[in-house]
Amino acid sequence: MWKYYNPNPKKQIVGDCVIRAVSLALGESWQDVYSDIAIKGFILADMPSSDAVWTSYIRGKGFKVKPLPDTCPACYTLRDFCADHPTGTYIVKCSEHVVTVVDGDYYDTWDSGDQVAYFFYTKE
């Protein structure tokens, strides 16, 4: 289910999970997404990686937030999410991480499948 993905032009792997995830979900370059989200952060007077900034940005791109099952909120992992969502593109917020899922696979610089999923966005 895990697919290595790192569009960062310098191949850095720390602190840019939001940019990586959003760039994949939108099919846009890392650089374009970074600059757009940084501008959104400037407008909102908050950091680009804050939930308020990146979620506002993707909502502006047509994404809608969706709830996750409440049966075990502390144990529903990214792997569980992938198994339950075998088709479509989703941006999933985990504990301190953001990952894109495409057709049941999660794309990241590391195997984050054990991360607990909190909420997700999808484009309708």
Q: Please give the pLDDT value at position 96.
A: 87
Q: Where are the domains of the chain?
A: 2-123
Greatest CA separation for the chain: 40
Closest C-alpha among 39, 11, 7, 10 to residue 22: 7
Say whether pLDDT at 70 is over 90: no
For 2-17, the pLDDT digits (tens) are 999 999 999 988 889 9
Q: Please give the pLDDT value at position 71.
A: 79
Q: Please give the pLDDT value at position 23.
A: 97
Which pTM value belongs to this model? 0.94
Q: For the CA atoms of 112, 70, 90, 107, what is the dihedral angle to 10 degrees?
A: 10
Helix (H, G, I), strand (E, B) or coil at 88: coil
pLDDT, greater one: 15 or 106: 106
Considering the chain, what is the average pLDDT of its residues? 94
**How far is Cα 101 from Cα 94, in angstroms, rounded to an integer?**
12
For 31-66, the pLDDT digits (tens) are 999 999 999 999 999 999 899 999 999 999 999 999
Contact status, residue 123 vs residue 63, Cβ threshold 8 Å? yes
How confident is residue 74, by pLDDT bands cut at 50, 70 and 90? confident
